[in-house]
Amino acid sequence: MANQNECCCTTGPSIMILACSGGSNVGQLTNQAAVELTKEGWGRMFCLAGVGAHLTGFVQSVKDNPIVVVLDGCEIGCAKAIFEHLNLPLKNYIVVTKDMGIEKNHEFDLKREEIDKLKELIKKKVGGK
C-alpha cells in the first residue's frame, strides 16, 4: 500500500492543476484539459480526490506549491468546496459553465475546440506561464 505522502501524479513544472473530473461533459472537459496540459509539460495534474480525502501529503503539497489552478466544471463547485473546507487559497479558479458559457449535460462527446479554449483560458489565468 502506498504511503499517503507519496505523490500519485506526474512531476513537472511548479504549476499544479486540480480538475473536478465530474460526471458531466464540463467535468470531463476539466479533466481532459488537465491531462493534455500535463502531457505538454505546461503544468502537472494533481489528485483532487487525495486533497478532498484530507490526506496529509496531498494537502501539504497544495499548500507548498506556488501556483495552483483549480477547475470546476459547473457552479456546484465541488473543487472549490474542497479548498474552502480545508482553508486552502483559491487563486486561479475557473468554472467552465460560468467562464466559458458551456452548458452542462451528461453527454461525453468532448469538442476539440472547447478543450483548446479551456487550455488557453487556464494559461491566461496564470499569466501565460
Look at the block and give the residue holding cell 480525502.
53
Mean pLDDT throughout 49-59? Answer: 97
In a domain, residue 7? The reply is no
How many folded domains does the chain comprise?
Answer: 1
In a domain, residue 11? The reply is no
For the chain, the farthest-separated pair of C-alpha atoms sits apart, in whole angstroms, at 42
In a domain, residue 73? The reply is yes
pTM of the model: 0.88
In a domain, residue 30? The reply is yes
User: Does 61 score more than 80 pLDDT?
Assistant: yes
User: Does 4 score more than 70 pLDDT?
Assistant: no
Reduced to 3 states, what is the DSSP secondary structure of residue 86? coil
Single out the residue of 42, 37, 91 nearest to residue 63, CA to CA: 91
User: Does 68 score more than 70 pLDDT?
Assistant: yes
Domain range for residue 32?
A: 16-124
Average pLDDT along the chain: 90
Mean pLDDT throughout 6-27? Answer: 78
